[in-house]
């Protein structure tokens, strides 16, 4: 192990889920690990706080293989600097002091079918940060040198942290529409955590963005670059309302034919039921938001309509390593920004409480240098 001249302490502060199943976190002092073969030790300075962390802490996702263990260090949107290399890790080309990020998929095997097809975020032996591995709500964490995300100069760590998750997720979703520059993309939930990033990144990719959300989000979303906005509250929540919204979206789309893609940035079953109606021939619905509770099939996805219009429905889980690198580069160029407030470690529990009551405006980023 090479540590050069960077001092690494024997212990550091970490925020753990002390009572999994409920909203509760606790700051503890834990032993700082040594990097193993191919690993780097990262002195984390910032971590975003995500709804997925809350779901893991509160055991809200039945699809995870086991309940969360007490003492788990959560977090998966971490940025910091490389402070030590394990054996062989320097071959990655990373340098001591270089900034890197840890995202949701903290490591992947790089050898399975998913990894080899560029879908390493779905690697069955991949490790989810803050669930399978100690996450980013701590001052020091390990990561594979060949899998952490380099953070470009000119992008602040506070800004980079939440973009490692939401930004990467919507960027990968937008790519999966296979749309061309100039095509129309519809973003349901455009004013939300994922949606507001999708509007900016989609615009940066050359798409014309049609945004859908509650009317009070209109100014915000148009300010981010959406060309058209539809207020969902102005449409009845039935077949007739869905048809009227679909007609309006189509009329506003390129050539009035409908959208090349819908990137679903809400977790609403009602929104999924509307989405196929927005598409033009050969269009793609990308499922990104995950509805909670009992799964409901996507409305309108009957074989005849799918076949006649050759529509596609695809899922998109986070994004791969390349998507993460590309998203960071876009952010460094100023194409996408996220609103955030910075809080000390002791504010994590109250952040989750505010999140649970839907009171958060923008993202919270934890400053891991402040207790
Ligand atoms: Zn996240
Ligand atoms: Zn794999």
Specify the pLDDT at position 64: 83
* Nearest ligand, CA 128: 1
The ligand whose atoms approach the alpha carbon of 169 most closely is 1
Summarize pLDDT for 95-104 with one digit per residue, the tens: 999 999 999 9
pLDDT of residue 2: 52
Confidence of residue 94 (pLDDT cuts 50, 70, 90): very high
Q: Which ligand is nearest to the CA of 126?
A: 2
Write the class of the CATH domain 11-150+339-367: alpha beta
Alpha-carbon gap, residue 94 to 86, rounded angstroms: 12
**62 — pLDDT class (breaks 50, 70, 90):** confident
Ligand closest to CA 317? 1
d(CA 304, CA 282) in angstroms, rounded, equals 14
Ligand nearest to the CA of 170: 1
Q: How many residues does the chain have?
A: 371
Residue 166 DSSP symbol: I
Residue 54 CA, ligand 1 centroid: distance in Å: 10
CA distance 263 to 248: 18
Of residues 4 and 122, more confidence is placed in 122
Question: Which DSSP string corresponds to 315-331?
Answer: E--S--HHHHHHHHHHH
Confidence band for 1, pLDDT divided at 50, 70 and 90: low
Which ligand neighbours the alpha carbon of 52 most closely?
Answer: 1
Q: What percent of the chain has pLDDT over 90?
A: 85
CA of 168 to the centre of ligand 2 (A): 18
The mean pLDDT value for 191-207 works out to 95
Across 18-22, 225-229, 284-288, 360-364, least confident range: 360-364
DSSP secondary-structure letter at 33? P
pLDDT at residue number 61: 82
Q: Is the pLDDT of residue 221 over 80?
A: yes
166 C-alpha to ligand 1 centroid (Å): 6
- Identify the residue with better confidence: 41 or 64: 41
Q: Where are the domains of the chain?
A: 11-150+339-367, 168-315
CA of 290 to the centre of ligand 1 (A): 13
Q: Which pLDDT belongs to residue 85? A: 97
User: How many angstroms is it from 107 CA to the middle of ligand 2?
Assistant: 9
CATH number of 168-315: 3.40.50.720
pLDDT over 60 (residue 3): no
Q: Assess whether pLDDT exceeds 90 at residue 311.
A: yes
**336 C-alpha to ligand 2 centroid (Å):** 29
Has residue 339 got a pLDDT over 70?
Answer: yes
Q: What proportion of the chain, given as a percentage, has pLDDT over 70?
A: 98
At residue 4 the predicted structure's pLDDT band, cuts being 50, 70 and 90, is low
What is the number of the ligand closest to the CA of 147?
2
- Is residue 174 over pLDDT 70? yes
136 CA from centroid of ligand 1 (Å): 11
Confidence at 60, pLDDT banded by 50, 70, 90: confident
- pLDDT, tens digit, for every residue of 224-259? 999 999 999 999 989 999 999 999 999 999 889 999
Phi-psi sector, 118: left (phi>0), alpha (psi -120 to 50), beta: left
Q: Which ligand is nearest to the CA of 74?
A: 1
Could you tell me the two tokens for 28? Answer: 């503890």
Ligand whose nearest atom lies closest to the CA of 121? 2
Tell me the CA–centroid distance for residue 28 and ligand 1, in Å: 23
Given a cut of 80, is residue 5 above it in pLDDT?
no
**Site of tokens 């839907």:** 358
pLDDT bin (cut points 50, 70, 90) of residue 361 is confident
Q: Which residues are placed with Cβ below 5 angstroms of ligand 2, an ion? A: 108-109, 112, 115, 123
- Closest ligand to C-alpha of residue 112 is 2
Q: In angstroms, rounded to a whole number, what is the distance separating the alpha carbons of residues 371 and 349?
A: 13
Name residues whose C-beta falls within 8 Å of residue 227's C-beta, 6 or more positions apart in sequence: 208, 209, 210, 252
Measure 56 CA to ligand 2 centroid, in angstroms: 22
Predicted confidence at residue 367, as pLDDT, reads: 98
Return the closest-CA partner of residue 222 out of 205, 239, 203.
Answer: 203
Considering the chain, what is the average pLDDT of its residues? Answer: 94
């Amino acid at each position: 192990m090479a540590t050069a001249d960077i001092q690494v302490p024997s212990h550091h502060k970490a925020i753990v889920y002390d009572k999994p199943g409920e909203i509760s976190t606790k700051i503890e002092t834990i032993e700082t690990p040594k990097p193993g073969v191919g690993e780097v030790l990262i002195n984390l300075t910032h971590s975003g706080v995500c709804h997925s962390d809350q779901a893991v802490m509160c055991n809200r996702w039945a699809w995870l293989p086991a309940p969360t263990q007490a003492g788990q260090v959560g977090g998966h949107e971490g940025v910091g600097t490389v402070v030590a290399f394990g054996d062989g890790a320097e071959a990655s080309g990373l340098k001591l002091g270089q900034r890197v990020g840890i995202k949701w998929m903290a490591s992947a095997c790089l050898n399975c079918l998913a990894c080899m097809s560029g879908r390493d975020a779905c690697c069955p032996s991949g490790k989810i940060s803050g669930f399978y591995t100690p996450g980013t709500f701590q001052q020091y964490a390990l990561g594979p040198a060949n899998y952490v995300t380099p953070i470009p100069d000119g992008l602040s760590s506070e800004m980079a942290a939440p973009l490692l998750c939401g930004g990467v997720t919507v960027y990968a979703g937008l790519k999966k529409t296979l749309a061309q520059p100039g095509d129309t993309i519809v973003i349901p939930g455009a004013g939300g955590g994922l949606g507001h990033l999708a509007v900016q990144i989609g615009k940066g990719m050359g798409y014309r963005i049609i945004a859908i959300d509650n009317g009070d989000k209109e100014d915000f979303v148009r300010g981010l670059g959406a060309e058209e906005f539809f207020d969902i509250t102005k449409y009845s929540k039935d077949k007739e309302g869905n048809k009227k919204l679909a007609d309006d979206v189509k009329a506003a789309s390129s050539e009035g034919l409908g959208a090349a893609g819908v990137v679903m940035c809400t977790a609403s079953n009602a929104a999924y039921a509307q989405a196929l109606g927005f598409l033009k021939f050969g269009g793609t619905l990308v499922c990104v938001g995950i509805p909670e509770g009992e799964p409901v099939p996507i409305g309108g996805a009957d074989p005849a309509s799918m076949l006649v219009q050759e529509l596609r429905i695809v899922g998109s889980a986070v994004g791969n390593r390349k998507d993460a690198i590309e998203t960071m580069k876009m952010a460094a160029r100023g194409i996408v920004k996220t609103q955030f407030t910075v809080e000390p470690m002791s504010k994590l529990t109250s952040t989750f409480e505010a999140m649970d009551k839907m009171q958060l405006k923008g993202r919270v980023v934890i400053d891991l240098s402040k207790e």
